[in-house]
Amino acid sequence: MTHASEKGRREPEKDESSAAQDGGEKKERVLHTRVPAVLERELKRFADNLRVPVSNLVRTILEDAVKAADVAGEGMENRLKRAAQALEEKREKMNERLERSLAQAALREAIAFQAVRLTRETACGRCAEKMPRGTEAHLAVMPTMDAPRLFVCSACVPQEDEEGETP
């Protein structure tokens, strides 16, 4: 809010914190505003019915409106956080599916599978099952050096069929 200075310029008034520092206590402020005549009549009629001054009615309405806006804002903030969390979870699942799909496509290119003992926990490149440290797994030998290094569990190693071919 602003007030006119001695020279006629509009200057900002002190806020409540500076007013509280000056007087040592929180002071109520006067707020002037223009309202349409219809709104004024309705406020006066409503105040008369409740047998309270119009200023008290307006103050109560404003306080309730601010509280309602705060509650609505908090509710919206929580909804946005939940939506962002759900999107993050979906993004992670999509990334996992993409990685599995890429790994399975790469596994089709493997020319051999070498038995190895894991020194750290790793997920199977085909079924995504966790293989703990010390587990026997199989390293996919790829035709190129720049291909990803993939491990598969014993259950996912392709077996030869009756004709001697791997599926």
Spell out the SS3 assignment of 89-126: HHHHHHHHHHHHHHHHHHHCCCCEEEEEECCCCEECCC
Last residue of a domain, one of 108, 126, 144: 108
Last residue of a domain, one of 79, 108, 137: 108
Whether 91 and 125 share a structural domain:
no
Question: What confidence tier does 165 reach under pLDDT thresholds 50, 70, 90?
Answer: low
Q: Residue 7: inside a domain, yes or no? A: no
**Is the pTM higher than 0.85?**
no
The pLDDT mean for the chain works out to: 81
Residue type, position 38, single letter: V
Question: Residue 1: what pLDDT?
Answer: 47
| Structural domain boundaries enclosing 59 | 29-108
Question: What's the average model confidence in pLDDT over 1-16?
Answer: 51
Q: What is the pLDDT of residues 60-72, one digit of tens each?
A: 999 999 988 888 8
Whether 82 and 133 share a structural domain:
no
Who wins on pLDDT, 20 or 111? 111
Whether 117 and 130 share a structural domain:
yes
Tokens of 42: 């309705």
Question: What's the average model confidence in pLDDT over 33-39?
Answer: 90
> What is the total count of domains within the chain?
2
Whether 55 and 77 share a structural domain:
yes
Per mean pLDDT, which of 1-5, 17-21, 83-87 is the most reliable? 83-87
Q: Residue 50: inside a domain, yes or no? A: yes
Report the range of poorest mean pLDDT among 9-13, 51-55, 120-124, 151-155: 9-13
Whether 98 and 115 share a structural domain:
no
Whether 92 and 115 share a structural domain:
no
Instruction: Give the H or E element holding residue 160.
Output: none
Q: Residue 97: inside a domain, yes or no? A: yes
Q: Residue 153: inside a domain, yes or no? A: yes
Smallest CA-to-CA distance from 136 within 119, 150, 149 is with: 119
Question: What's the average model confidence in pLDDT over 143-160?
Answer: 84
Q: What CA–CA distance (Å, rounded) separates 86 from 107?
A: 31
Question: What's the average model confidence in pLDDT over 112-120?
Answer: 93
Instruction: Give the H or E element holding residue 37.
Output: helix 37-50
